[in-house]
Amino acid sequence: MIDDVKIMQYADGTLPEEEKATVEKAIENNPELKKLLKDYQESADLLFNLGQSIKSQPLPDALKEKLKLLNAGQERSLKMKTPFSFFNIFKVQYAGVAAALTIFFYGGFYTQGVMMAKKDTGITGGKTEMQMAAKKEENKLKPVDQFKNDLSSSVSNVYKFFNEEQFVSDVNNIIGDLKKGDEFELSLKDGAGTLIKFILVKNYQSNNGLECKNIAFKKKTKLSRSDLGTNIELDLCKRNNKYQLVSINISK
């Protein structure tokens, strides 16, 4: 007998192979079952999109701290000074790509840059996240909570529309032909669906001799409904014959 569950399983692609033909045949000959199939397909999409949408929300700082405690050695974690909370947003969403990279975030309303680094990047001299956090403490560079929240939101909002993997892939196809001041477009669109215009700002060498390029979004980009516009710059350095994203600079 073809019941609702079978139709749902068929819609989800979880129906056992040996039952598919029977269900397909029943659906073909029955408009009601066709409608039911469509409803289940649509509800699957709705739930998937709902999950993705809620998961795209940045986590509150308190939960990020709990996560750090969960992953760290408990005793050590309890003693650990609080590192910048926005780091996790980046780490999770783009963990695979970011693993070998150094990330810089700058706030234009903040007088000094903040550097977050991971081990063995080869660019920062192998400083660890904790060392960098400690260094910030020593230098009294700890920003106020509001700054942390703003920057955290900004970074996560960038990644709502900025597909890093796509960007790196696309830009590597043309970067060799670009000269300083050249403007170009890739397939990337901003949050409003407009193609992003980039400009090659400068070519430079990193401290350890890597060939790097600084690329900026030509126009200010709105990162949230309340944002009046944010400057975004990207630094890419060549490693293993490919340019990799090493930093994102955000300023007002």
Partner 1 sequence: MKEKLDENFVKSLVLIAQGIAKGKCDPYDLVNGAMEYLIKNKEKYMDHPNIKALAVLKMKGLFIDDIRKSKNFTSLTDEEGKDMEIKDDQQLDMVEKMEVSSETKKVLKTIKSMGEKCQEILMLAADQMSMQEMQEITGVKSIGTVLSRLSNCRKELKGLLPT
Query: Residues in the site for partner 1, rule: CB under 8 A?
Result: 4-5, 7-9, 36, 39-40, 42-44, 46-51, 53-57, 59-60, 62-64, 66-67, 69-71, 74, 88-89, 91-93, 95, 224
Nearer CB in complex with partner 1: 69/201: 69
- Helices assigned H by DSSP within the chain: 4-12, 17-28, 31-55, 61-71, 74-79, 87-93, 95-98, 129-138, 145-161, 164-174
CB of 212: closest distance to partner 1 in angstroms? 29
Nearer CB in complex with partner 1: 14/241: 14
Structure tokens at 177: 């032909």
CB of 109: closest distance to partner 1 in angstroms? 22
Residue partners of 249: CB distance under 8 A and separation at least 6: 104, 105, 106, 231, 232, 233, 234, 235
Give the span between the Cα atoms of 10 and 40, in whole angstroms.
9
Nearer CB in complex with partner 1: 25/66: 66
Nearer CB in complex with partner 1: 32/138: 32
CB of 16: closest distance to partner 1 in angstroms? 12
Give the span between the Cα atoms of 33 and 23, in whole angstroms.
10
Structure tokens at 249: 């600079």
Nearer CB in complex with partner 1: 95/195: 95
CB of 85: closest distance to partner 1 in angstroms? 11
